[in-house]
Amino acid sequence: MSGSHGGYRRVLASDALPPPQPVRFTAGQPGEVTHRPTIRQVDVGGQQVLVTRLASGDVVAFTRFCPHMGAPLDRASLVGEAVRCPGHEFVYDPRTGANIHPTDEASDAWLSVRQPGRLQTYPVAEQAGWIWVADHP
């Protein structure tokens, strides 16, 4: 069920994304001990957008594809408050879209060839038990 409200579209009930939980590790096989936050794909005005709740509790929305080479981000991982692309492990800030890695350690020549780009993000509001995502960046 979706509706619109001041340029935003209602896409999820707030409780559809779990609140952030501390990571608790127990002894076990490496494959048994994982932490994978939920990244949900939602329809926003006919466009598929990814939505997740960060460890800080903030909800963010961003495009389905990495700006570097177009890898699908529905299998991305969250590293702290950032999104890591599964394709080439480029890391982006899901609030601003800024490339964090490899920009933080790469030379200008390398970056001009690789062109990490900027992750397309969408404004999000959490109000009255709903998560609202703007239908345009």
Domain membership flag for residue 25: no
Q: Show the domain range for 75.
A: 4-17+39-134
The DSSP element (H or E) to which 112 belongs, if any, is helix 108-114
Q: Report pLDDT for 40.
A: 84
Global pTM value: 0.70
Question: What is the pLDDT at residue 35?
Answer: 38
Residue 26: inside a domain: no
Per DSSP, what are the bridge partners of residue 46?
Answer: none
What pLDDT score does 111 carry? 58
Q: What local confidence, expressed as pLDDT, does residue 17 receive?
A: 66
**Residue 29 falls inside a structural domain:** no
Residue 46: inside a domain: yes
Asked if residue 100 is part of any domain, the answer here is yes
Closest by CA position to 17, among listed 45, 56, 48: 56
**Is residue 76 in some structural domain?**
yes
What total of structural domains would you count in the chain? 1
C-alpha distances in angstroms, 79 versus 37, 51, 122? 10, 15, 20
pLDDT the model gives residue 32: 28
Structure tokens at 7: 């340029």
Please give the share of the chain, as a percent, with pLDDT higher than 70: 66
Query: Would you state the pLDDT for residue 84?
Result: 92
Q: 31 lies in a domain?
A: no
CATH code, domain with 100: 2.102.10.10
SS3 (DSSP) at 109 = helix
* Segments of the chain with pLDDT less than 70: 1-6, 12, 14-37, 103-115
Cα separation, 119 vs 65, whole angstroms: 8
Establish if 30 belongs to a structural domain: no
